[in-house]
Amino acid sequence: MDAAQITVTVLGGLRVHWHPEPHPATSSLEITGTLQPRTQELLVFLALHHDGVTRDPLVSALWSHDPPARPTNTPHTALARMRTALAAATNGAVTDIVSTSNGRYQLDPAVVSVDYRRFAHAVAVRRAATTDQARIDALWDVVNAYGGTLAEDTTAEWIESGLTVSPLAFFAADAITFAVFPLNLPTPPEELQRS
């Protein structure tokens, strides 16, 4: 996604970069520290739900210990704060990165690139691969897309419980194991071989 103005990385620690130039590879500024903790948590949650999420699961996950008196307004207030923080961090160049349509909140893929989206796509390609070479290529794509533990610096209960997050990290561990072993050992140890 070469035209993305914002990159959100959730595999490993959360990192948010703004790309003021048209090509993200030429320049970027990390703006993670300018975002409040709740905004950071909201970004992680939305990054993991690339097809979007409705208000109820969003409010339930992010405000479970302190349910809002007006749950209808809570996401709108959080998004307004995010827009304000982004505008300040990007000198007004980026203000809105969330689209809301059909009652779903979603990071706008035209504005935001998310590493988890690339990782999930690589896993889907691997699962659909029908030849050995396609599987090997897809495994390497999984390995290359995996940047570390999911949001390792975020202590939100919904992440720690693992109920909201698919088990893609386990798939990454398998991909790494089976992509790397053929490079180091002529035959993996018997307990690691799969039939």
Residue 139 sits in the same domain as residue 48: no
Tokens at residue 78, please? Answer: 């959080």
Q: What angle do CA 176, 156, 31 make, to 5 degrees?
A: 80
Residue 24: the pLDDT is 56
Q: Which domain holds residue 167?
A: 115-185
Residue 91 placed within a domain? yes
Residue 178: the pLDDT is 63
Residue 194 placed within a domain? no
How many separate domains does the chain show? 2
Residue 45 placed within a domain? yes
Residue 67: the pLDDT is 67
Looking up residue 25, the CATH number of its domain turns out to be 1.10.10.10
Q: Residue 63 in contact with residue 42, Cβ under 8 Å? A: no
Residue 174: the pLDDT is 62
Segment 88-112, tens digit of pLDDT: 999 999 988 999 888 899 999 999 9
Q: Residue 117 in contact with residue 125, Cβ under 8 Å? A: no
Tokens at residue 128, please? Answer: 């659909």
Residue 195 placed within a domain? no
Residue 134: the pLDDT is 87
Residue 190 placed within a domain? no
Q: Kindly report the average pLDDT of the chain as a whole number.
A: 80
Residue 155 sits in the same domain as residue 68: no
Domain boundary among 113, 146, 174: 113
Low-confidence ranges of the chain (pLDDT < 50): 1-2, 163-164, 183-195
Residue 51 sits in the same domain as residue 92: yes
Identify the CA nearest to 116 among candidates 3, 2, 9: 9
